[in-house]
Amino acid sequence: MLQLNHQNNNYECSGVNINELANQFGTPLYVYDAATIKARYHKLKSAFSGIRIRLHYACKANANISIMKLLKSEGAGLDAVSIEEVQLGILAGFQPHDIIYTPNSVDFSEVQQAVALGVRINIDNLRILEQFGMQYGNTYACCVRINPHIMAGGHAQISVGHIDSKFGISIHQLRHVLRLVELLNIRIEGLHMHTGSDILDADVFLRGAELLFEAAVQFSELDYLDFGSGFKVPYKEGEPATDIEETGQKIAQVFSAFCATYGRELELKFEPGKYLVSEAGLLLVRANVVKQTTSTVFVGVNSGQNHLIRPMFYQAYHRIQNLSNPEGATRLYSVVGYICETDTFAYDRKLNEVREGDLLAIFNAGAYGFAMANQYNSRLRPAEVLLLDGQAHLIRKREDLDDLLRNQLILSL
């Protein structure tokens, strides 16, 4: 987890003064640490020894082009779930064959656009697979996303491989897949599975692997198997996380054994998003008001669910720290936003005494923070800064009123 070093009444990260950063760029402000992102990437990749492994960054977690370029420079491929993410990936410098496009519930025309761009196609729908075969036959390879019917993850909304999920083709429909492949001469280059997020137990991956291996032997021309992702990161001090080394060792062992049975060495793919960038991010906010009520003390900050919706959407825990008063007495607060909606970042949280104007850091904000930000209440989205080699680089400007008006056509009434 990203750590802030306290020196001379200020906090520092990767050689950059965080308090001064807030003064320089204003708040709210997203701050990402490149060193943490790189460390997470290499830790995950090195956990799978003895096999061919490729990590594709799931850019839905944070689609800033500079973040994409950083991970590309470390050797990552890209996982995209929309044609727009594909286009951003190409702008970031990824070669089309290094991009896996895994949409769901899209019109076939979007798949056609992806084929025209030359990226890898991952299909999770029998009707789309049928259309794909009708148009492309064996002239363009594709991957098939299997739904293994495994409940995984810490929250219903982040478990995507269960029987009621909209994602993937049911493992029980494999016979239908094989019929389409045979009748339409479809070239299948990979099989894909993703069960959910916040997975602690390596055995969840292994159960899915067994199903994927059973399916894979029925396809003779595979180049890779894609296990999706789902590695859990800690949000609280001392909270458990996925044991990457143990998970990597177990999966590498069974994958090697399968390749020997299959008759040739396949590539194992993973699509980490949150694992790579979540812990690398901070959201810096200012306390606008400290409001005593009959039941609690609220700290109202200059941000809200329009900038970080995870606490409201997933009931997600994000550690909060007062950077302006680190020696202050510990008090109990509920931290809330400035949106005309219930947008509580934290209930009954112990913080060093908060005063109006204090700078607060919200941790684990690198994934699904800005990516899910919006302009509700006509509020503006914040700036983003990347800490790289001891320097702070502005990688997205703060929005202004022109951004709210950019696409509006105002009638003369």
Residues marked active site are found at 340
Question: Can you tell me the distance from the alpha carbon of 165 to that of 125, in angstroms, rounded to the nearest whole number?
Answer: 12
Q: Which amino acid is at 126?
A: L
- Phi, psi (degrees; rounded to nearest 5) at 402: -60, -30
Question: Can you tell me the distance from the alpha carbon of 27 to that of 31, in angstroms, rounded to the nearest whole number?
Answer: 11
Find, among 50, 51, 80, the residue nearest to 68 by Cα.
Answer: 80
DSSP 141: -
Find, among 350, 349, 372, the residue nearest to 278 by Cα.
Answer: 372
Take residue 49 and report the two structure tokens written for it.
Answer: 């020894």
Omega into 28 within 30° of 0, i.e. cis? yes
HEC per residue, 250-310: HHHHHHHHHHHHHCCCCEEEECCCHHHHCCCEEEEEEEEEEEECCCCEEEEECCCCCCCCH
CA torsion 248→82→400→311, rounded to 10°? -50
Q: How many degrees, rounded to 5, is the angle at CA 281 between CA 231 and CA 91?
A: 85
Find, among 90, 91, 115, the residue nearest to 103 by Cα.
Answer: 115
Find, among 324, 335, 319, 328, the residue nearest to 353 by Cα.
Answer: 328
Question: Can you tell me the distance from the alpha carbon of 340 to that of 342, in angstroms, rounded to the nearest whole number?
Answer: 7
**Residue whose entry in the numeric block shows the structure tokens 């789902």:** 230
Asked whether the beta carbons of 196 and 152 are under 8 A apart, the reply is: yes
Q: Name, in order, each residue with C-beta under 8 angstroms of 265's C-beta and a sequence gap of 6 or more.
A: 51, 52, 259
